[in-house]
Structure 1
Amino acid sequence: MRFASILVAIVGLALSVAHAQSGTSVLFIGNSFLFGAGSAVRFYRAHTVTDLNSEGIGGVPALFKSFTEQAGLDYDVNLETRGGSGSSSISRTRQG
């Protein structure tokens, strides 16, 4: 329930931007909670987002992309996810 509340807050904040410019990019960085491991959302509309790991994942970022499209916003949505990892290990992997 806590995760769902945080997700709703993030989506609400992102959608509250009244004057989003074309070409706005959003990067989601996270672990298996973000890409929906073990659920149907993992590969949901993966073609609408850019998976920087080329794993074909849609997950929460693809849901977010759907919400932005419904709100008439044009966001370029990217994701960098790694199961079982925290943000510090993801950034170290990218740097090294």
Structure 2
Amino acid sequence: MNEQFTWLHIGLGSFHRAHQAWYLHRLQVMGDKRWSIAAGNIRNDAEHVVQALSAQKGRYVLETVSPEGVSEYEEITSIQKLIPWQADLQPLIAEGQIRRQK
């Protein structure tokens, strides 16, 4: 079965990128490539995040630090579509109406 699914996430904050997007990325790394993330914001105060991620095609590097202070870095690739902010939120609403969205 090669059906593709997109998880629509509203809010591209640090928590989402460090946890939810990371978990989906790990699923992809383990071989399940059916899922990806489309994401945008309902407020315009973080549009710089959408623009920065768009410039990098949704990819970013996550730094994790162990209790011992050891840093590790991993490129996260689960965000495949970035939805620009618009006052009427139509791009987000339209994305949510796509059948393959979960």
| TM above 0.5 | no
TM-score by length of 2: 0.41
Structure with the larger helix share: 1
Question: TM-score, with normalisation over the residues of structure 1?
Answer: 0.43
Give the greater-gyration-radius structure (CA). Answer: 2
Q: Which has the higher strand share?
A: 2
